[in-house]
Amino acid sequence: MNTYIALLRGINVGGHKKTPMAELRSHLGKLGFENVQTYIQSGNIVLQSKIESKAKIEDLISDSILDHFGFEVPVVVKTHSELLSILDQCPFSKEKKENSYFSLLYKQPDNSSIEEANKISYPNEEIVVTTNCIYFYCSMGYGRAKFNSNLFEKTLKTKFTARNYRTMMKLLELSS
């Protein structure tokens, strides 16, 4: 049995794509996932599965949410070691890292797209794009950030879902 971390994009945000976590846990259990845990309401799931393909798990969760809840939700699945590696590779100082956001990419962009995205900058913000994550720190706070998700998704030709440091740490704790 393998442990996975599934990150759902855009649920329970501003009253859209309402997904009760208890119902989601129960639903995923009926699909054969075991020890399903959720963390806060924004689509953070730790589960165990005999399925070894993360792509199959992503598709299964995404398709079942569409069937059960009636809307599409992009899903990215990582292992504990992959999430830990993303956190460990953060290029910021410890203080900045603890106040950063980690945008996990759904697919790996090509090198020229990464280079182009790394040229985008905003005052008081630090952005570093890698093959699997956009590391983002804003000295003025996330609510005042100029960071533009649509621009980065268009530049990188992939979607992503962002989590803050505290959520990343909690998911690592739950999946260990």
Categorize the per-residue pLDDT at 83 as very low, low, confident or very high, splitting at 50, 70 and 90.
Answer: very high
Place of tokens 């639903």: 27
> Which CATH architecture group holds 81-175?
2-Layer Sandwich (3.30)
Answer whether 2-78 and 81-175 agree in fold.
yes
pTM above 0.75, yes or no: yes
Q: What is the CATH number of domain 2-78?
A: 3.30.70.1280
Residues 166, 98: Cα–Cα separation, whole Å? 7
What are the residue ranges spanned by the domains of the chain?
2-78, 81-175
Residue 118 has what pLDDT? Answer: 96
Q: Find the mean pLDDT for residues 79-90.
A: 97
